[in-house]
Amino acid sequence: MGRAKLPRKSTNIDMTAMCDVAFLLLSFFILATKFKPPEALSVVTPSSVSTKVAPEKNVVLITIDKDGKVYLSVSDANMPEKKAMIEEINTSKNIGLSEQEKNNFVRIPNAYIGAPFSQLKSYLDRTPEQLMKVVKPGIPAVDSTNNEMVDWFKAAADAFTGKKMDIVVKGDDASKYPALQGVIIALKKNDLMKFQVVTSPIPAPVGSELYNLQQKTGTKSSEQQ
């Protein structure tokens, strides 16, 4: 028995440290996470060097999907304005919505208006679950003789009188320019000269003028105006 015996080492490791790290990371992600609200419309936004965070309150959101259909929604925090908008449209366009149908628009979070005035009554007649599934025709905006966005913007501007209103356009990469053009025309007709475009952030390209400016001033701001 001249063989040297190696001491048998345990294969168990102390897990405490690893456990600590795991839970530290876990708590970070729990706190940092912000669940995406279930979106009825999936839109891939283009990227820009803008660093301003998109507003969330007092927002009139215009969504343009990949087929160029236009939808309108109002941020959930603004129920009175929503109510005022639908009332005004109801009266001016003689749609004859019932209380229930109006409430459907006001109460449902992320309620998208995605139908022309002629179909608005049957559109709002549905429950939220049904609305999710149904194929939405979109608000007519491309045709210059029948741009219903003009009326919607008018109603929105009236409803938000005395308050700051942010018009936010969220368009899909693949949608064509005429849809955006229709929205811009409708905005101009209502003298709403300011709007914002939702984008996903990218850094300024290295070597460009903006990049140099940011390096010089040490700010990340890309707002020049």
Partner 1 sequence: MDTSGGGGHKKGPGVKKGKKLSTRVDLTPMVDLGFLLITFFIFTTTMSQPTAMRLYLPKDVKNPDEQNKVKNSAVITLMLAKQDKIYYYEGDDPSKLQQTDFKKVRDIVVDKKKRTDPKDFVVILKPSVDATYKNTVNILDEMTIDGVKRYAMVDISPVEYNFIKLTEVANGIK
User: Please, is 95 exposed, middle or buried when counting C-beta atoms within 10 Å of its C-beta (0-12, 13-18, 19+)?
Assistant: middle
* Among the listed residues 98, 118, 208, 215, the single contact to partner 1 using CB under 8 A: 208
Identity (one letter) of the amino acid at 206? V
Does position 99 interact with partner 1 (CB under 8 A)? The reply is no
Q: Minimal distance in Å, beta carbon 89 to partner 1?
A: 24
Could you give phi then psi for residue 202, rounded to 5 degrees? -135, 155
8 Å CB contact between 90 and 96: yes
Considering only the stretches 122-130, 131-139, 149-157, 195-203, report the one whose residues sit in contact with partner 1 under the rule CB under 8 A. Answer: 195-203
Nearer to partner 1, 1 or 15 (CB): 15
CA distance 84 to 101: 14
Could you give phi then psi for residue 12, rounded to 5 degrees? -75, 140
CA distance 152 to 87: 11
Site for partner 1 in 66-85 (CB under 8 A): none
Sheet holding 59-64, edge to edge: 70-74, 59-64, 166-171
8 Å CB contact between 64 and 183: yes
The site map against partner 1 for 140-179 (x = CB under 8 A) is ----------------------------x--xxxxxxxxx
Nearer to partner 1, 16 or 94 (CB): 16
* Among the listed residues 40, 55, 93, 103, the single contact to partner 1 using CB under 8 A: 55
Does position 49 interact with partner 1 (CB under 8 A)? The reply is yes
* Among the listed residues 1, 6, 32, 135, the single contact to partner 1 using CB under 8 A: 32
Nearer to partner 1, 119 or 181 (CB): 181
Does position 204 interact with partner 1 (CB under 8 A)? The reply is yes
Burial 97-132 (b: 16+ CB within 10 A, else e): beeebbebbbebebbbbbbebeebeebbeeeeeebe
Does position 110 interact with partner 1 (CB under 8 A)? The reply is no
Q: Considering all CA atoms of the chain, what is the largest pairwise distance in Å, rounded to the nearest integer?
A: 105
Question: 3-state class of 170 per DSSP?
Answer: strand
* Among the listed residues 57, 107, 163, 188, the single contact to partner 1 using CB under 8 A: 188
* Among the listed residues 3, 8, 133, 194, the single contact to partner 1 using CB under 8 A: 194
> Which residues form the interface with partner 1 (CB under 8 A)?
10, 12-16, 18-19, 22-23, 25-26, 29-30, 32-36, 45-55, 64, 168, 171-181, 184, 187-188, 193-201, 204-205, 208-211, 213, 222-225
